[in-house]
Structure 1
Amino acid sequence: MKCMAPRYCGLNGVSIDHTHQINRRKNSMDIKDIMNIVDMDDAKFDDKHLNRRQFLIGSAAVAGSIFLASCGGQSTTTGSGTSTTTKKYTIALVQGVKGDPFYVTMQKGAQAEADKLGATLIVDGPAQFDATLQTPIVDALIARKVDAMIIAACDKQAMIAPLQRANDAGIKVISVDTFIGNGDYTSGPVTFPLSYIGSDNVQGGMIAGQSIIKAIGGKGKIYIQNVKPGISTTDQREQGCKAAIQATNGAVTLVGVNYNNDSAATAAEQTSALLRRVPDLSGIFGTNLFSAEGAAQAVKNANKQGTIKIANFDAPVQSITDLRNKVVDIVIAQLPGEMGKTAVDYAVQALNGNTSGLKKRVPTGYVVIDRTNVDTPEAQNAIYKSS
């Protein structure tokens, strides 16, 4: 088994292992204040994922830091701990939405690992981030009798029943990017998935919020562009950003949250309307690719580049272009390639009967990019692929 530990990267591209803290504070905000605001239940995530996330890294980010067709096959283990197999398994990767560079990058990581381990990878996903469109895909893969299913569930509640059907059919289920239930696959209401592999999104939201607060000088008005309620990842990013705002004790106010249903065009319309209502807006947090792209377009249309600071979650090429052109000021890149790679490795191990070393929660980390480090190898490697 190869477990990809999350890394957080400093301004000069220096990797910081997630088990270490950054002791040097780089702004006046006390991170303990933020930690006290977020009402987190330590029992919710295995490995104490949420309650030992080393929030101190947020302060560094504020300063502009960069942060596997049947069972029973024989298996061996390589020197690095990664499973190999003599049985050719069929693994399905169900994306949250087709065409999103985030999921394209995840597919590339998954395909490379499947090729390495001798597995067949099937990739599918809905045209929109919608559980009603994702459910028939899951059911079709159940009928196809795939061996394992890696999925970015479009809804944490609506996708429980379809994935339970997959599990009941003997298919190994692994969550990537998003989770179902409350994400606690050890003792929560949903425990059948093998693992949840993805970023710590509360932390990411906090870092985004802190980044904007720093950029606007510690006071002003912030607006959040989000997808829709019920998506585990973006719900948590919103939560984290709100916590960062609340920690300012009124110096920064939240003027609104809009939900764009994963449409950049809708996000642009909503942001334009907000700008007319709040002309002195200081900053925007886009919780995903389309949210940020739409918000950035509205800022361009209003000729307010540089005046309104934008923190952008996810790192497609367009976001990096916007960063260079000073339309956005911070880009938080997840590591979807590592999510896909680790999930395929976990699926093969489980199919080979090697489950003792598999963790129920695997955080994959992120890289925070700004104009000071955008050309470093660390940042360039974190940019999402479009094909």
Structure 2
Amino acid sequence: MKKQIIAVAGLALALTACGKEGGGTTASAPAAKPGEKPAVCLVMKSLANEFFQQMQKGAEEHAAKRGDLTLQVTGIQNETDIDNQVAAVEKCVTQGAKAVVIAPADSRALIAPLKRAVDAGVKVVNIDVQLEEAAMKSAGIADKVPFVGPDNRDGAKQSGMVLAKELGKDAEVIILEGNPGAANAAQRKAGFEDAIKEGGLKLVDSKTAHWETDEAHTVFGNLLSAHPTIKGVLAANDNMALGALKAIEEQGKKGQIKVAAFDNIPAIQQYVKDGSVVSTLDQFGAQQASYGIDFAMKMIGGENFSGWQKTEIKLITKDNVG
């Protein structure tokens, strides 16, 4: 299957937390009744993340427009609640879903329950955060689970290069990382490091804030106190950028420290407009889910897909925000 470049339009999602992880072998999903619409389960990440709230809205609108499936939306309370995301996958299978479209909170921890889903005859489509390829191969499902998502490293580099041009060589910067176990967190950090190297910036520290605004506010506030001469921060998502902006304002450094970010959620756009955030990166989350649903339905219909189905990204700056 050759790669596809998929044009997309932005948004994201919200979710409902499910029970706890089940043990043992996953039972086969119940057979569909004649004429019954197949159930597709969309499993997302944090309820508090505006990106996923937009994703949910877009997915529901897309499912309603298609009219040939029943969409079940679920997720977790925060970005590190991996156990409940595992449980959500198990629940989708036991409730008879024919496909699971998942944005995994961790690139390795979700492989075991997804293998159980595949073994039960459920189709699986990976979106947003890529599952670890080596672990997928080891589990025997690499050729059964396509990844529908963006080039996170390239997107982070694009965003970071805007900051590098804004600050100039030798400016001190900090990276706020996403979840350590998530592939997109590692890819975005690598993209930021590419921009730092190419732009001649000086990286003085790099810490995770697990994608969360409140944690980023605390983490970056401490980093700013420890490194008072920094000029920029590269945040791996807009939620963490918002936390950093709050810390910057509290320490009286508004306008002195610039931010590069990733996601282009509505809440960040006012800061792009006023120049506090020099760049963010739209990865069109709503359409990722919509295309994931489309692939899932094709797979339910008997088609096979694997590998990376690449989706569009777009650099957002003051010149094109909104």
Instruction: Give the C-alpha shift of residue 188 in structure 1.
Output: 9.4
Rounded to whole Å, the distance in 2 between the matches of 1:226 and 1:326 is 22
1:1-387 to structure 2, matched below 5 A, reads 5-6=6-7, 70=31, 88-115=37-64, 116-129=66-79, 130-182=81-133, 190-248=141-199, 251-355=200-304, 358=305, 360-374=307-321, 380=322
Task: Report deviation, 1:147.
Answer: 0.3
Contact 1:173 1:192 survives alignment (8 Å) = no
Q: What do residues 171-211 of structure 1 show as CA deviations (whole Å, max 9, x unaligned)?
A: 10110101222389789975154310111011112112211
Distance 2:139 2:86 in 1: 22
Q: CA offset at residue 215 of structure 1? A: 0.8
For 1:276-295, what per-residue CA distance to the aligned partner results, in whole angstroms no more than 9, with x for missing partners? 22121111111013211111
Cα deviation 1:329-378 (Å, max 9, x = unaligned): 112111111101111111111111133xx45211212222111222xxxx
Q: Is the 8 A contact 1:72 1:352 kept in 2?
A: no
The range that moved more, 116-125 or 320-329, is 320-329
Is the 1:97–1:128 Cα contact (8 Å) retained in structure 2? yes
Deviation, 1:70, is 4.8
From the superposition, tell whether residues 90 and 189 of structure 1 become closer, same or farther in structure 2 (CA, over 3 Å): closer
After TM superposition, give the deviation of residue 108 of structure 1 in Å. Answer: 2.6
8 Å Cα contact 2:8-2:287 kept in structure 1: no
Letter in 2 for 1:272: G
CA positional deviation for 1:92: 0.2
Structure 2 unaligned segments of length 5 or more: list them.
10-29
Say whether the 8 Å CA contact 1:300–1:327 is kept in structure 2. no
> 1:257/1:190 Cα in 2 relative to 1: closer, same or farther (>3 Å)?
farther
CA distance in structure 2 between the partners assigned to 1:152 and 1:273 by the alignment: 31
User: Do the aligned partners of residues 312 and 183 (structure 1) sit closer, same or farther apart at CA in structure 2, a change above 3 Å counting?
Assistant: farther
How far is the alpha carbon of 1:100 from its aligned partner? 1.9
TM-score normalised to structure 2 length: 0.85
Contact 1:324–1:371 (8 Å) recurs in 2: yes
Which amino acid is 1:256 matched to? D
CA distance in 2, matches of 1:287, 1:158: 21
- Aligned-residue identity in percent: 26
Distance 2:137 2:61 in 1: 29
Q: Could you state the TM-score of these two structures normalised by the residue count of structure 1?
A: 0.71
1:169 is matched by which residue type in structure 2?
A: A
Give the secondary-structure state (helix, strand or coil) at the position aligned to 2:204.
strand
Cα distance in 2 between the residues matched to 1:207 and 1:277: 28
Distance 1:241 1:188 in 2: 31
CA distance in 2, matches of 1:289, 1:133: 24
1:222 Cα deviation after fit:
1.2
Structure 2 CA distance for aligned equivalents of residues 91 and 286 of structure 1: 33
1:113 Cα deviation after fit:
2.8
Distance in 2 between the 1:254 and 1:189 partners? Answer: 39
* Aligned equivalent of 1:383: none
* 2:227 maps to amino acid: V
8 Å Cα contact 1:175/1:196 also seen in 2: yes
- Greater displacement, 104-113 / 138-147: 104-113
CA 269–359 in structure 1, closer or farther in 2 if over 3 Å, else same: same
Q: For structure 1, which runs of at least 5 residues remain unmatched after alignment?
A: 9-68, 74-85, 375-379, 381-387
Shift of 1:118: 1.4
Q: Which AA in structure 1 matches 2:313? A: Y
Secondary structure class of the residue paired with 2:259? strand
- The amino acid of 1:269's aligned partner reads T
The question of whether the paired residues in 2 share the 8 Å contact of 1:186 and 1:360 is answered with no
